[in-house]
Amino acid sequence: MDQTFQPLSGIRVVEMSHMIMGPSCGMFLAFLGAEVIKVEPPEGDKTRHLTGMGRPFFPLFNRGKKSISLDLKTEAGRAALDALLATADVFVENFRDAALGRMGADPADLRDRFPRLILASHKGFLAGPYENRTALDEVVQMMTGLAYMTGPTGRPLRVGSSANDIMGGLFGALSVVAALRERDTTGQGRSIRIGLFENCLLLVAQHMVQYELEGRDPPPMPERDFSWPIYDIFYTADGQQIFVGAVTAGQWDALCRHLDLQELLDDPTLQTKMDQINARDRTVPIVAAAIAKHDHATLATAFEGMGIPFSPIAKPSDMFENPHVMRPGGLALSRLPSGETFRAPALPFEVDGAMLSGGGDIAEAGAHTEEVLAELGLSNDQIARAMGAAA
């Protein structure tokens, strides 16, 4: 695991955000070496206390950050935040502007007072008719057509993860890195606004452009018009499901030969890819019956050797048994304040052949308050008053 790729070392990020979009931006920057200081209220970020599907939100997206507690309802808390921002390179937030103003962090005011500061504001929408609407990942998926494309007709479905929030945080981190690079030349910061809706719009852009070029709405993905002869889920002899694709002439030939379907190879009406696509109603059941004669493990070994695209239908928990995920460096270990540990992915790229170590531990709420504020020159009394109820 590569622990030397820290291009943002020396960059201080102050983060005031909750849930996923803003915190994921801060996490990406921390993975790249930035010092990320998360500002929490005296009672701690509410995301810390979520349960069920919300339980992983805080630990997963706040790995490797420092935590300070400030009571921003008090003058002392706002003064401490002001002193901290004066030392920061980047401010990451995902609150409404009105709420930020009450906390002493109005974006327009910060822009005037800290011209070198880069503001990365994660919002539901960019400027326009919807800019003040409340947005959630699921809301924008419904609005943009992503949910329509994901579920069958009449049953719109959100995708099975917080994909928009995470990708929005990634665009936040990308824009921050770009603004830092620009600041090296200009000496000036930037005000950046990242929109959850616009992020989702990019995810459906391929379907928008198909309509633009062809004048027709593509059907939802479960009912899509196929561009490939085989691109389906099948059952194996041992009752497991397997996805199999044959998208080239070579893959079609290899699949048919392995499954002893010489009749498909000899059929004069199946000699071109379009012939094979147009005959899917007839050929897919034949392929399904042939696959059902073989067990999953045998097919997987054969398909890998032949270069046939395939996959088991896995659950997220299956990744902890996946040999590719569990290779050295595939997952990073993090520790909670309670001492409990968990494994999770780091960033999905290699540098000079090695993945980043990523991860990092999750700080207890306010664990770094005294350390960070004392470095700013605040006295013990000023620190106690800035912490408010947390003191």
**Phi first, then psi: what are they for 358, rounded to 5°?**
55, -155
CA distance 386 to 384: 5
| Contact (Cβ atoms closer than 8 angstroms) between residue 37 and residue 64 | no
CA distance 69 to 387: 6
Residue 55 CA: distances (Å) to CA of 21, 306, 342: 15, 42, 12
Residue 372 contacts by C-beta under 8 Å, 6 or more apart in sequence?
37, 66, 68, 84
Q: What is the DSSP string of 271-299?
A: SSHHHHHHTHHHHHHHHHHHHTTS-HHHH
Q: Is 266 a catalytic residue?
A: no
| Contact (Cβ atoms closer than 8 angstroms) between residue 265 and residue 276 | no
CA distance 330 to 326: 5
What strand order describes the sheet that includes 230-235? 230-235, 241-246, 310-312
* Catalytic-role residue among 2, 137, 165, 232: 165
9 exposure class (CB count in 10 Å sphere: 0-12, 13-18, 19+): exposed
- Which residues are catalytic, by number? 165
